[in-house]
Structure 1
Amino acid sequence: MNWKPFIRENGLHLSWAIALVATLGSLYFSEVLMYAPCKLCWYQRILMYPLVLLLGIAAVRKEQRFYWYVLPLSIWGGGISLYHYLMQKTGLFAEGAKACGIVPCDVDYINWFGFVTIPFLAWVAFVLITVIQLLMLAASRK
């Protein structure tokens, strides 16, 4: 199977679906379960929420070269998510967690299977979007 036509046809839709699920998940955690987001969670939201709108418009318009606009947001968001996750799960950045605001950044609202936290879920979403967009970049090259 040749992956290039598949990724060209479906990459934007897949990325949009991932961004939508991540956005709805973060809204569920904060608005339904009443988990107060910390400062780093807000930064991740600032980078994820526009992706829903941007990728949705790009998918409808079939913009093949939209990865240049998505990649900076997804790479930056993935970096913040990874930093946040390392702050929660390791002692590397423990001092920064206390200066995060009213809600400390090392609070684990969820801890599924001992490693899945909210920043981990955000990191997975950003990484998946980044990989799909990089595959779209590769598929557009001759």
Structure 2
Amino acid sequence: MRIIRQNNLFFAWLVAVVATLGSLYFSEIRGFIPCELCWFQRILMYPLSIILGIAAFLDDDKVKKYVLPLSIIGIFVSTYHYMKQKLPWLDAMQPCTKGIPCNTQYINWFGFVTIPFLALTGFVLITLFLSLKRSK
């Protein structure tokens, strides 16, 4: 646990990079077209790869005040998107009318792991890593 606390910026950056590369893999290699909510999640995640990378390199713990709002908003967007996929009545209230429907499940591993679930996991991990107090 001490290693994670001392390197929390690095681990948060690593999660952001994996999430960014994963989303690019799904769209550019697998050919999955992102829906509108997927784009919002990308808008929130992609900058974290750069910001957290610079912060980890410079060991700048002050970056939390810039990153945490993005990751917490990402948690809400991902949760809403995941609920639209798993709760049909929620999607019926306000269906996506442009492009790919937001309830499309390109993957459904183990019956619950979808792309918004993966994004949610990334945002939660980044938030948790940044919430850990660093002992220098």
Q: TM-score range by the shorter chain?
A: over 0.9
Structure 1 position 95, deviation (Å) = 2.4
TM-score, scaled to structure 2? 0.92
Q: Does 1:31 align with 2:21?
A: no
Equivalent position of 2:83 in the other structure: 86
Equivalent position of 1:59 in the other structure: 56
Contact 1:47 1:74 in 2 (8 A): yes
Equivalent position of 1:107 in the other structure: 104
Q: Does 1:49 align with 2:50?
A: no
Q: Which amino acid aligns with 2:118?
A: L
Q: Which amino acid aligns with 1:39?
A: E
Tell me, which stretches of 5 or more residues in structure 1 are unaligned?
Answer: none
Structure 1 position 114, deviation (Å) = 0.4
Structure 1 position 90, deviation (Å) = 1.1
Structure 1 position 101, deviation (Å) = 1.9
Contact 2:9 2:56 in 1 (8 A): yes
Runs (4 or more) in structure 1 with deviation over 4 Å come to: none
TM-score, scaled to structure 1? 0.89
Q: Does 1:120 align with 2:133?
A: no
One of 15, 18, 21 as aligned partner of 1:21: 18
CA distance in 2, matches of 1:17, 1:96: 37
Q: Alignment partner of 1:36: what SS?
A: coil
CA distance in 1, matches of 2:43, 2:95: 21
Structure 1 position 66, deviation (Å) = 1.5
- What is the root-mean-square deviation of aligned Cα atoms in Å? 1.6
CA offsets per residue over residues 86-142 of structure 1, 9 Å max, x none? 000013521256225210000000000000000000000000000111113xx47xx
**Aligned residues with identical type, % of pairs:** 54
Q: Which amino acid aligns with 1:133?
A: L
Contact 1:18 1:125 in 2 (8 A): yes
One of 77, 81, 96 as aligned partner of 2:74: 77
Tell me, which stretches of 5 or more residues in structure 2 are unaligned?
Answer: none
